[in-house]
């Protein structure tokens, strides 16, 4: 408790007047309406579930940390740390791919990995690449014009259409005027600005929102400053192209930024839209996959301010911080006091098997679970800071619980490494 109070005292000193502000203070700048709901809950003006202690940092405290280390790459594998991480995986280690980068002392980082080049479909973690494609197109359109980027994100209205069909994930539709909340799957005609669709994509992992964001990323890539189109022009824009042209534009929008940002398409790629109808309109042209190492390279580039550029890296990290609720790896009780920048994705399926009952995240044919997280926690005088990327395919095991357990154990390992236990 004492260390937590010391940390918030430090935040108050560094950011005067913002101690009562959470990262959800961003509604006036972004127009993300659920943030205003959370701010009102935090202020005691609305009833509802708020954020855990680690989710209460002011926006200015949520930042990229390694901009002064442009030469920092993944260091040589630390065999001792890798051995400790491998021990945590236990008997199922062969079904995991994992990478852990300890940057608590950024001038002396330690890197561990196991089967880090093993790749699989990472499900909704691939939405990071949809966001990357959008921010790359935005930066290429407004290379020296940050106000222009902010205006486009804030003032462009997106209306859900056929690309959003269909999705079971619910989104928060908060009416700022009446202070009422509706939570349901996206429907045709639902509107929000680009910030809000990006938030729905990453905070609740809405497939519909991801498809709409990717739709607009493709239009932005092709049209540049002539984006956005009027609603009546969007369907003719896509239907007026041959199928091969749509595929080429998809790859220009979402594959080219991967290589432009120093990653290999052999190791990380989003090969399609996230909705059935999105895939019907635009064929991506390939499989979707990533490895633990490639995801680590993605997050490290973001933390250095080199994912697209510094402004884009900061925006993406803040979007990852603004998760609606903590699930799977992020739900570890050990991480309640930590700031967490997180995305997960799962894919599971079952087949008949005597004596086995299929369940959520517990497939016996396929049981992919994928987690990426940047963790920051002030523990006494030490600011613990590390990155974890984790993919698994352990059949018949509740993979959400398994990742949560690993979140607890990895956090304890890193604290022990710095003498904090």
Smallest Cα–Cα separation from 363: which of 189, 201, 121? 121
Residue 173, judged by CB atoms within 10 A of its CB (0-12, 13-18, 19+), counts as buried
Distance of CA 399 to the CA centre of its chain: 19
* DSSP for residue 334: G
The DSSP bridge partners found for residue 379 are 382
* Domain chopping of the chain, boundaries: 1-61, 79-121+298-417, 123-288
Work out the angle between the directed axes of helices 127-141 and 207-223 (0-180°, nearest 10). 30
**CA-to-CA distance for 313 and 107, rounded, in angstroms?**
21
- Predicted structure pTM score: 0.93
The 10s digit of each residue's pLDDT in 282-341 is: 999 999 999 999 999 999 999 999 999 999 999 999 999 966 789 999 999 999 999 999
Evaluate whether 298 touches 307 at the Cβ level (below 8 Å): yes
**Which parts of the chain register pLDDT below 50?**
1-22
pLDDT at 322: 63
The 10s digit of each residue's pLDDT in 20-56 is: 323 678 899 999 999 899 889 888 999 988 788 898 8
pLDDT at 57: 84
pLDDT at 1: 44
Distance of CA 404 to the CA centre of its chain: 17
CB atoms within 10 A of CB 241: 15
């Amino acid at each position: 408790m004492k260390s937590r109070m010391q940390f918030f005292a430090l935040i108050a000193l560094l950011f005067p007047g913002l101690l009562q502000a959470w990262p959800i203070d961003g509604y006036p700048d972004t127009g993300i309406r659920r943030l205003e709901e959370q701010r009102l809950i935090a202020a005691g003006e609305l009833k509802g579930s708020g954020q855990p202690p680690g989710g209460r940092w002011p926006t200015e405290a949520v930042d990229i940390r390694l901009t002064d280390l442009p030469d920092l790459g993944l260091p040589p594998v630390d065999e001792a740390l890798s051995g400790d991480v491998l021990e945590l995986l236990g008997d199922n280690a062969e079904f995991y791919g994992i990478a852990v980068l300890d940057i608590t002392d950024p001038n002396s980082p330690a890197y561990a990995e196991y089967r880090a080049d093993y790749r699989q479909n990472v499900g909704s973690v691939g939405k990071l690449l949809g966001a990357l494609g959008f921010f790359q197109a935005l930066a290429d359109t407004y290379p020296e014009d940050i106000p222009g980027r902010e205006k486009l994100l804030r003032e462009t209205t997106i209306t859900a259409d056929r690309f959003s069909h269909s999705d079971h994930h619910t989104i928060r539709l908060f009416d700022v005027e009446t202070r009422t909340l509706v939570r349901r799957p996206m429907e045709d005609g639902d509107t929000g600005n680009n910030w809000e669709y990006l938030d729905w994509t990453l905070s609740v992992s809405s497939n519909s929102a991801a498809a709409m964001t990717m739709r607009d990323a493709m239009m932005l890539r092709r049209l540049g400053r002539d984006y956005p189109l009027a609603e009546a022009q969007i369907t003719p824009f896509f239907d007026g192209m041959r199928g091969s042209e749509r595929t080429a534009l998809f790859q220009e929008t979402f594959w080219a930024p991967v290589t432009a940002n120093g990653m290999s398409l052999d190791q990380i790629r989003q090969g399609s839209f996230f909705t059935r109808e999105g895939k019907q309109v635009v064929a991506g042209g390939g499989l979707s996959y990533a490895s633990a190492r490639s995801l680590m390279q993605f997050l490290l580039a973001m933390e250095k301010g080199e994912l697209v550029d510094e402004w884009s890296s900061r925006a993406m990290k803040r979007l990852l911080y603004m998760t609606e609720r903590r699930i799977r790896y992020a739900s570890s009780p050990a991480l309640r006091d930590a700031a967490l920048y997180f995305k997960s994705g799962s894919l599971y399926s079952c087949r008949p098997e005597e004596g086995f009952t299929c369940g959520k995240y517990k497939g016996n044919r396929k049981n992919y679970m994928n987690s990426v997280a940047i963790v920051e926690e002030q523990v006494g005088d030490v600011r613990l800071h590390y990155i974890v990327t984790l993919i698994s395919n352990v059949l018949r095991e509740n993979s959400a619980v398994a990742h949560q357990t690993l979140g607890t154990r990895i956090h304890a390992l890193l604290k022990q490494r710095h003498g904090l236990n």
